[in-house]
Amino acid sequence: MKMLEAIPALPVTDLESSIAFYRDSLGFSVEYEEDGFAVLSWDEVRIHLWLANDERWRRVDRSAPVITGTESFIAGTGSCHIGMDGVDELHGRLEDLGILHPDAPLGDRPWGVREFAVIDPDNNLLTFYERIGS
**Residue 70: its pLDDT value, please?**
83
Cα angle 13, 118, 107 (rounded to 5 degrees) comes to 165
Report CA 59 to chain centroid distance, whole Å: 28
pLDDT digits (tens, 9 = 90+) for 74-106: 888 999 999 999 999 999 999 989 899 999 999
- pLDDT at 112 > cutoff 90: yes
106: buried, middle or exposed (CB in 10 Å: 19+, 13-18, 0-12)? middle
Kindly state whether residue 17 falls inside one of the protein's structural domains.
Answer: yes
Kindly state whether residue 1 falls inside one of the protein's structural domains.
Answer: no
**Residue 62: its pLDDT value, please?**
63
- 105 to each of 4, 6, 21, 128, 134, how far by Cα in Å? 30, 25, 20, 11, 23
Kindly state whether residue 127 falls inside one of the protein's structural domains.
Answer: yes
Q: What is the pLDDT averaged over residues 15-33? A: 97
* Number of residues written out for the chain: 134
- 50 to each of 15, 45, 95, 123, 131, how far by Cα in Å? 7, 17, 27, 14, 29
Kindly state whether residue 44 falls inside one of the protein's structural domains.
Answer: yes
88: buried, middle or exposed (CB in 10 Å: 19+, 13-18, 0-12)? exposed
- pLDDT at 49 > cutoff 70: yes
How much is the pTM? Answer: 0.89
Q: What is the DSSP letter of 111?
A: T
State what percent of residues in the chain have pLDDT above 90. Answer: 75
Kindly state whether residue 102 falls inside one of the protein's structural domains.
Answer: yes
Q: What is the pLDDT averaged over residues 34-43? A: 96
**Residue 26: its pLDDT value, please?**
96
CATH number for the domain spanning 14: value is 3.10.180.10
Kindly state whether residue 3 falls inside one of the protein's structural domains.
Answer: no
Q: How many domains does the chain have?
A: 1
State what percent of residues in the chain have pLDDT above 70. Answer: 91
Kindly state whether residue 116 falls inside one of the protein's structural domains.
Answer: yes
- Domain residues for the domain of 19 are 9-59+68-131
Kindly state whether residue 4 falls inside one of the protein's structural domains.
Answer: no
